[in-house]
């Protein structure tokens, strides 16, 4: 996995590089938006971490150029200006996610991984959370490398929970993914699937937990290290 950091503050580059390398990424770093655009055009990166406040102009230009070149590389924007307009502008320009400084490096690594887990992302084929893996192409799940028998819908629920590991997946999103537009959804359908999935994961000794956020949805959490 190769990640590009575009950031003018050398100390931040050092810290991010160290953290991402520890998470087994290959990291390149440049200091200006011009260099960033050049690097993006030359090398097929798997993800970009982009600071918006660059000395030679707005980081948003880097996104605009990349998207014009039809690059779908996931871009995580860093900004020290959390004014609403800045966030919205970033996402409108084609950024995939944003982090407001100051942030914990662990959070940044998690966000980069989450971007890569998105469908089409570099980690899109096999998802991992704790001792659970899910093959999105082969449609199968394992716990500690032991196959777990899940129904199609349980597998879909687990996939979306794993793609957004550590964040809440609204129930409405799961309903949308599981059922067609014209299908009548029983209000109990999702809770029932989650209940079964939870039971099966627990029975096979999974080190992840599905938390219920009543009124919103569900969240998959890795055990605390």
Partner 1 sequence: MIALRLRSLQLQLTLRLGLLFLAATALAVGALLYQTYRTAESLSEENLIERAQILARFVFERPDGDYDLDLPAEIAAFYAAPAESSLFAIRDRHGEVIAASSPAFAAHVKARPSSEDEPRFFRLESFGPESSDYYGLDLAVESVAGPLSVSVAQSGETDALLHAMLREFVFDVAWIIPVFVAATLLVAVLTIRAGLKPLRQASEQAAKVAPGATSVRLSVGGLPSEIIPLVEAVNHAFDRLEQGFTIQRRFTADAAHELRTPLTIITGALDALEGNGELSKLRDDVARMNRLVEQLLRVARLDSIALDVSTDIDLAAVASEAVEYLAPLAISQERSIALNGADRRVSIKGNRHAVEDALRNLIENAIAHTPPNTEILVEVMEDGKVSVADHGTGVRAEDREHLFDRFWRARGAPGAGAGLGLAIVKETMKAHGGRVVVDDAPGGGARFTLRFQG
For partner 1, which residue of 3, 4, 5, 16 counts as binding (CB under 8 A)? 16
Q: Is residue 168 near partner 1 by the rule CB under 8 A?
A: yes
Q: Is residue 225 near partner 1 by the rule CB under 8 A?
A: no
Strands 217-221 and 2-6: unpaired
The window from 116-124, 128-136, 152-160, 206-214 that contacts partner 1 (CB under 8 A) reads 206-214
Q: Is residue 166 near partner 1 by the rule CB under 8 A?
A: yes
Q: Which residues ranging from 69 to 128 are in contact with partner 1 (CB under 8 A)?
A: 80-84, 100-106
Min. distance of Cβ 224 from partner 1 in angstroms?
Answer: 7
Q: Is residue 224 near partner 1 by the rule CB under 8 A?
A: yes
Q: Is residue 1 near partner 1 by the rule CB under 8 A?
A: no
Q: Which tokens in the block code for residue 180?
A: 């067609």
Q: Is residue 167 near partner 1 by the rule CB under 8 A?
A: yes
The answer to whether the CB of 18 falls within 8 A of the CB of 94 is: no
Identify the burial level of 5 via C-beta atoms within 10 angstroms of its C-beta, where 0-12 means exposed, 13-18 middle and 19 or more buried: buried
CB proximity list for 35: less than 8 A, separation 6 or greater: 6
**Termini Cα distance of the chain:** 24
Q: Alpha helix locations (H) across 118-208? A: 152-163, 171-178, 189-203
Q: Which chain residues interact with partner 1 by CB under 8 A?
A: 9, 11-12, 15-16, 18-19, 53, 80-84, 100-106, 166-168, 170, 211-217, 219, 221, 224
């Amino acid at each position: 996995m190769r990640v590009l950091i575009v950031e003018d503050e050398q100390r931040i580059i050092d810290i991010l590089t160290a953290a991402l390398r520890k998470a087994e990424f290959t990291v390149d770093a440049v200091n200006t938006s011009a260099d960033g655009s050049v690097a993006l055009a030359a090398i097929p990166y798997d993800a970009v971490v982009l600071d918006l406040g660059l000395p030679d102009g707005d980081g948003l230009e880097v996104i605009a150029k990349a998207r014009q070149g039809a690059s779908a590389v996931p871009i995580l924007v860093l900004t020290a200006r959390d004014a609403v307009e800045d966030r919205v502008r970033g996402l409108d320009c084609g950024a995939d996610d944003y982090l407001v400084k100051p942030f914990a490096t662990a959070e940044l690594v998690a966000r980069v991984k989450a971007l890569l887990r998105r469908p089409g992302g570099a980690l899109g084929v096999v998802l991992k959370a704790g001792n659970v893996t899910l093959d999105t192409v082969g449609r199968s799940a394992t716990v500690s490398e032991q196959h777990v028998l899940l129904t199609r819908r349980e597998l879909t629920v687990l996939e979306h929970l794993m793609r957004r590991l550590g964040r809440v997946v609204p129930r409405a999103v799961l309903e949308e993914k599981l059922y067609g537009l014209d299908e009548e959804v029983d209000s109990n359908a999702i809770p029932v699937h989650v209940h079964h999935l939870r039971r099966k994961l627990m029975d096979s000794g999974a080190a992840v937990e599905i938390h219920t956020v009543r009124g919103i949805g569900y969240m998959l959490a890795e055990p605390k290290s």
